[in-house]
Structure 1
Amino acid sequence: MEKLSLENLIAVKGNLERVLDNLSEGIMAHDLDRRIFAFNREAERITGFSRSEVIGKDCHEIMGGPFCGENCSFCNDRDAFGIFPKKYYVNLSARNGDVIRLEMTVTPMTNENGEVVGVLGSFRDITEILRLQIKVGELFSFSNIIGSDSRMLQVFQQIRDVAAFDYPVHVFGETGTGKELVAAAIHNESNRKPAPFVPINCGALPEGLIESELFGHVKGSFSGAIKDKKGRFELADGGTIFLDEVAELSKYMQVKLLRFLQESTFERVGGEKTLKVNVRIISATNKDLKQEVASGNFREDLYYRLNVVPVVLPPLRQRKTDIPLLVQHFLRQASERYGSPVKKISDQTISLMMDYAWPGNVRELQNAVQYSIVKCGGHIIRPEHLPMELKKDMDLRLSKSTQGLKLDLKLVKEALARSGGNKSKAAKAMGVGRATLYRFMESNPEVMDQENT
């Protein structure tokens, strides 16, 4: 039997399919019209779609949205579609309805003239890996949320668990804890991701406008209504609406919202036509809704409709081990935005941040980092570059600590000598925080002189 040349082997379509089917990664390729012409066995296993179902079809139609998620280069600027990220992560709705997490690499396919003629995507299912990372605490960020504290890992798992269902979710957390980030993460992890995520701050709009903002209005329904307008619920059709500060809604609007939750229908302001949309509701507040119900400020029946799945966000003071992670994240953000080197932060500064109560939570921490970047003239952020409220708080802590414990030069010198100069051990031996010891040493240069001799 005559042996086929390599060129002939490759030219045979059946052989090419066998090559692709023996790869351990899913492979999908489509032309410039998004028509799929290659789909290997692993791609079938991961997605649940058979090769015969997808070949020749638009990948958006088959997958119910962009296969590459928000990174689809065919959705926006077609002139730049030859520019692809090397690797990214995307959520995909499988054939059985499960939302799976993919690690995906996309590469433009070119002809002999260097012209892009199609797209090749390789991917693998990392859903189980992600679940295990959350379980064992080896995750440092999830869907744009930074954190590795056990409380945050529980939140990550809750997001993953609840994303698969359309039940209403209520997020409770202090100001600045990232309630909208959690709501967006639930949307992005769900099969509603291709549809809009529409946030609205219920406490930021005047009472006279909130109904129109939520449900829309018809032309002439009130002064200034010069044309028909869709409300946020219509804009979110198929997706998710996020009602932030929902406790600020008036009793009248609470009734309107309750009716929508019961029937998924509403009328625009001034309109007679009943409209129906398919949206998921995620609400949030920094108030205790149970207490608001007890005080008569919030309807009990609406509370039970919204609070089907509660998600509680811990304040930053309860997850202080996340502060260094968050600080580094904000420093990298600034570096990328302004094209400058990433600034470093001294151990003393991190210690001061770890000892601070952060009443404004992550938002306050981000503001403090941004302030310090501006204040710092060099490459290292030091305690003197922190905002005034942090320094005042540390001065007060130092004053109380030194008064209560009678911290003095002799005591500090002896503790440092016994610990071999290890400040953490010295602070622990004296029963004070590292930040307290650092501040005391800065106020007493002779201790620093002794340390350097």
Structure 2
Amino acid sequence: MSALTIDHILSNRKNLERILDNMKDGIIAHDLNRRIFYFNKEAEAITGYRREDVVGKDCHEALGGPFCGSRCSFCDGNPIFLDTAEYPVNIVTRDGEPRRLEMTATMMRDEQDREVGVLATFRDVTDLFELRVKAREMTGFSNIIGCDDKMVDVFRQIKDVSGYDYPVHIFGETGTGKELVANAIHVESLRAGSPFVPINCGALPEGLIESELFGHVKGAFSGAIRDKKGRFELADQGTIFLDEIAELPKLLQVKLLRFLQEGTFEKVGGEKTVSVNVRVVSATNKDLKKEVKKGSFREDLFYRLNVIPIHIPPIRERKSDIPLLVDHFLSQAPTIKGQRPVRMAQDALNALMDYTWPGNVRELQNAVQFAIVRCKGKVIRPEDLPIELKGMVCEKPKRGPVRKLDAGRVRAALTKTGGNKARAAKVLGVGRATLYRFLGDHPQVLSDD
């Protein structure tokens, strides 16, 4: 086919529309005033809106709000827009169904290189998550590493709440990654692109936390030399993450409850009511129900925060994730003198798998970083591990099936298993009878413990 024939086909509007309507991507085009002038069939299929209902209309009005969510460059005043932008976006279809899209937005220009509008192409990837789960290809989600079934359930919960603004409460032990989960909830939500503002309620003195959360006016207290926005104002249109919520003082629990009920608050020393649009995600390593029974946490606030509870399992309940996490931490190691450790020896990894990890992911990361510093070659060996993990390493027997025991290893195993001799024997890789004989011959191990 000649170039002339191709040019003729492309210059014919109906032929061009036919080509675009047969593409597997949705396509929307609008001018600088947000008026839609093109909407292909795949865009209809993905969004649920018909072409004749949206063409010629303001895209925000036609599609029930900014199609790009909080990433929209045409919400206020003159658009600030790069030539091309690629990002994920969550939408709600005409039927109210949340969908996850991968979008590319491109600025269109005329012959004089003047900006004339935006062309957005997008693909529905909502079902990709389930396909990866079924194919056993899941190794993480939204910057959270994990493939264990318990973590996949957490990923599903994050995905399920993405289309809603209900409060979420995250419960998990220290070091399990509660802030990572909170940030994933934000990134996967319709608020992605707006601020994610974390605050640790237990890290600030009681006299400062109200100002940090809600702000203050000039002269409200000694040192208040100017008006200051609090975290709730900074998080407007986005998400605020209240970590260690159980540590929130009772008086502030009342103020937070009012915000959750009405969406308003007053700054410290102020009389003006401030209204913001914020999603609240809270977290704690304590059982809030027990805190309510103790009288240290308000019951009505608990029910306001705990609309959607998410529990993050500790590492000891998802040990299959340890090799993935180790590989991830090794990949982040800086290169020193042109090299870095590339892998962990199997016996060292076995020690990591046998340990109970009271500090969870954070402690595991610290242990890997310690081993990287200690390691002199390209392979991390058991001797490179922190001292509390060396007791988890079983030496290879020199003769016969019995493993060699020493007081240090036995003491470490008993400490890590809380004195449970049966579990300690399993950790050490010996039979219970062998451990009992050793303890009978070395009674000082128990007395020292």
Residue 43 of structure 2: aligned partner: 43
Instruction: Give the residue type in structure 1 aligned to 2:401.
Output: L
Separation in 2, partners of 1:225, 1:204: 21
Residue 442 of structure 1: aligned partner: none
Calculate the aligned-residue CA RMSD, in Å: 4.0
Q: Judge conservation of contact 1:345–1:380 (CA < 8 Å) in 2.
A: yes
Q: Report deviation, 1:189.
A: 1.9
Instruction: Give the residue type in structure 1 aligned to 2:26.
Output: G
Residue 175 of structure 1: aligned partner: 174
Separation in 2, partners of 1:58, 1:339: 52
Q: Report deviation, 1:197.
A: 1.8
5 Å-filtered alignment, 1:294-333, equals: 294-333=293-332
Residue 10 of structure 1: aligned partner: 10
Separation in 1, partners of 2:386, 2:84: 41
- CA deviations 1:377-406 (Å, max 9, x no partner) are 322222222223322x426xx59xx9xxxx
**Residues 156 and 119 of structure 1: CA distance in aligned 2, closer, same or farther (over 3 Å):** same
Separation in 1, partners of 2:94, 2:334: 41
Residue 443 of structure 2: aligned partner: none
Residue 392 of structure 2: aligned partner: 394
Q: Report deviation, 1:362.
A: 0.7
- CA deviations 1:298-357 (Å, max 9, x no partner) are 122222221222111100111000011111122223369999677222222221111111
- CA deviations 1:157-215 (Å, max 9, x no partner) are 11122222222211110011011111111222222223322111000111111111111
Q: Judge conservation of contact 2:69–2:190 (CA < 8 Å) in 1.
A: no
Instruction: Give the residue type in structure 2 aligned to 1:11.
Output: S
Instruction: Give the residue type in structure 1 aligned to 2:376.
Output: G
Residue 68 of structure 2: aligned partner: 67
**Residues 8 and 332 of structure 1: CA distance in aligned 2, closer, same or farther (over 3 Å):** same
Separation in 2, partners of 1:289, 1:357: 25
5 Å-filtered alignment, 1:116-127, equals: 122-127=121-126
Residue 20 of structure 2: aligned partner: 20
Residue 160 of structure 1: aligned partner: 159
Q: Judge conservation of contact 2:197–2:231 (CA < 8 Å) in 1.
A: yes
Is 1:262 aligned with 2:247? no
**Residues 253 and 158 of structure 1: CA distance in aligned 2, closer, same or farther (over 3 Å):** same
Q: Report deviation, 1:133.
A: 3.5
Q: Judge conservation of contact 2:104–2:121 (CA < 8 Å) in 1.
A: yes
**Residues 59 and 298 of structure 1: CA distance in aligned 2, closer, same or farther (over 3 Å):** closer
Separation in 1, partners of 2:361, 2:68: 33
Residue 245 of structure 2: aligned partner: 246
- CA deviations 1:46-75 (Å, max 9, x no partner) are 134455636796799968558398799xx9
Structure-2-length-normalised TM-score: 0.76
Q: Report deviation, 1:234.
A: 1.7
Q: Report deviation, 1:42.
A: 0.7
Q: Judge conservation of contact 2:84–2:105 (CA < 8 Å) in 1.
A: no
Instruction: Give the residue type in structure 1 aligned to 2:8.
Output: N
Q: Judge conservation of contact 2:170–2:284 (CA < 8 Å) in 1.
A: yes
Residue 411 of structure 2: aligned partner: none
Separation in 2, partners of 1:31, 1:185: 33
Q: Judge conservation of contact 1:351–1:434 (CA < 8 Å) in 2.
A: no
Residue 349 of structure 1: aligned partner: 348
Residue 192 of structure 1: aligned partner: 191
Q: Secondary structure at the match of 1:270?
A: coil
Q: Judge conservation of contact 2:70–2:194 (CA < 8 Å) in 1.
A: no
Residue 417 of structure 1: aligned partner: none
Residue 424 of structure 1: aligned partner: none
Q: Report deviation, 1:19.
A: 0.2
Residue 401 of structure 2: aligned partner: 411
> Structure 1 residues 264-273 or 50-59, which shifts more?
50-59
Q: Judge conservation of contact 2:344–2:379 (CA < 8 Å) in 1.
A: yes
Separation in 1, partners of 2:331, 2:89: 23
Separation in 2, partners of 1:166, 1:365: 33
- CA deviations 1:232-283 (Å, max 9, x no partner) are 1122222221110001111111121122222222111111122222222211
Residue 451 of structure 1: aligned partner: none
Separation in 2, partners of 1:106, 1:316: 40
More helix by percentage: 1
Instruction: Give the number of aligned pairs.
Output: 403
**Residues 244 and 102 of structure 1: CA distance in aligned 2, closer, same or farther (over 3 Å):** same
**Residues 378 and 38 of structure 1: CA distance in aligned 2, closer, same or farther (over 3 Å):** farther
**Residues 332 and 32 of structure 1: CA distance in aligned 2, closer, same or farther (over 3 Å):** farther
Q: Judge conservation of contact 2:84–2:104 (CA < 8 Å) in 1.
A: no
Separation in 2, partners of 1:276, 1:362: 38
Separation in 2, partners of 1:107, 1:336: 37
Q: Judge conservation of contact 1:66–1:194 (CA < 8 Å) in 2.
A: no
Q: Secondary structure at the match of 2:190?
A: coil
**Residues 116 and 276 of structure 1: CA distance in aligned 2, closer, same or farther (over 3 Å):** closer
Q: Report deviation, 1:43.
A: 2.1
Residue 280 of structure 2: aligned partner: 281
Instruction: Give the residue type in structure 1 aligned to 2:40.
Output: N
Q: Secondary structure at the match of 2:253?
A: helix
**Residues 376 and 195 of structure 1: CA distance in aligned 2, closer, same or farther (over 3 Å):** same
Q: Judge conservation of contact 2:70–2:190 (CA < 8 Å) in 1.
A: no
What percent of counterpart residues are identical? 58
Q: Report deviation, 1:136.
A: 6.8
Q: Report deviation, 1:135.
A: 6.2
Separation in 2, partners of 1:334, 1:59: 45
Q: Judge conservation of contact 1:54–1:62 (CA < 8 Å) in 2.
A: no
Separation in 1, partners of 2:204, 2:14: 62
Q: Judge conservation of contact 2:69–2:89 (CA < 8 Å) in 1.
A: yes
- CA deviations 1:92-142 (Å, max 9, x no partner) are 444455432224467788999999998765432121231344467542211
